[in-house]
Copies of this chain bind each other. A is one copy, B any other.
Amino acid sequence: MTRPRIYLFGDSITEASYVGGGWGAALTYHFARTADVVLRGYSGYNTRWALKVVERVFPDDGVSPIAVTVFFGANDACLPDRCSAFQHVPIAEYKENLQAIVSFFKKRWPATQVLLLTPPPIDDEVRLQYPYIENPANLPERTNQHAGLYARAAVEVAEETGVPVIDFWTIMQQTPDWKTYLSDGLHLSPSGNTVVFDQVIKKLGEAGLSLDALPVDLPLIAEIDTKDPLKAFEFLQK
């Protein structure tokens, strides 16, 4: 019995989603008995690099996943004249790259649910406290305003390609204390991880990929008759 698969494709916000109670780990537990959640997170990657590797990351092994999340933009949105400029990708190219990634998935796996996730907001001031690279100018390498342009672009790509999108930049800022969703002004805090988990579950559910809809692989303990436990496993002999 091959389990249905859900791929998580993205940058460090995806790769680190298995740290603490991250959204990736929470998805794995949520789908523990129904689907395999498979991590394909690449810290630091922008869409330019993601597009270069996507064919290699997802070889044509004949097995289509039921869903794939595409979560890039936080690195593309690095400002072109600041310390992390080497990760910057201009917005027009970001859109093209994202479109190409979506097209790749649609062509390889026509029945797979592709789900776009926009970059989360940025806490400009806090970014200065967590430099990941030398920052002699002491200016934030990412800003919330600039990340917002990339989030908007990702929403446009979703509309143009007809795939669902979760606009985390907008959704998170609807909460007054949205900055608590971030641990270092860029990556997710525990509460930010919960927002992402909840939204992804909701969106997958809208696409018919919920615990109610997916079959459980083997009897749950609650379904096992305490007076005759082996009865629950008789179907395996058939």
Copies in the complex: 2
Inter-chain contact B18/A20, CB cutoff 8 Å: no
Inter-chain contact A220/B32, CB cutoff 8 Å: no
Query: In whole angstroms, what is the CA distance A25 to B236 when docked?
Result: 30
Query: In whole angstroms, what is the CA distance A20 to B57 when docked?
Result: 27
List chain B residues, Cβ under 8 A from A36. Answer: 38-39
Inter-chain contact A39/B43, CB cutoff 8 Å: no
Inter-chain contact A19/B21, CB cutoff 8 Å: yes
Residues of A within 8 Å of B, CB-based: how many?
46
- Which residue on B lies nearest to A133, using beta carbons? B226
Instruction: Give the Cβ gap from A38 to chain B, nearest Cβ, in Å.
Output: 6
State which of B25, B52, B61, B229 has its C-beta within 8 Å of the C-beta of A22: B25
Inter-chain contact B2/A59, CB cutoff 8 Å: yes
- Which residue on B lies nearest to A237, using beta carbons? B52
List chain B residues, Cβ under 8 A from A221. Answer: 43-45
Contact with B along A140-157 (1 / 0, CB 8 A): 000000000000000000
Question: Is A49 in contact with chain B by the CB < 8 A criterion?
Answer: yes
Query: In whole angstroms, what is the CA distance A21 to B18 when docked?
Result: 8
Instruction: Give the Cβ gap from A37 to chain B, nearest Cβ, in Å.
Output: 9
Instruction: Give the Cβ gap from A188 to chain B, nearest Cβ, in Å.
Output: 14
State which of B59, B86, B226 has its C-beta within 8 Å of the C-beta of A86: B226
Query: In whole angstroms, what is the CA distance A24 to B37 when docked?
Result: 13
Query: In whole angstroms, what is the CA distance A133 to B39 when docked?
Result: 35
List chain B residues, Cβ under 8 A from A64. Answer: none
Of all A-B residue pairs in the complex, the 5 with the closest CB atoms, nearest first, are A44-B221, A25-B25, A18-B29, A86-B226, A52-B233
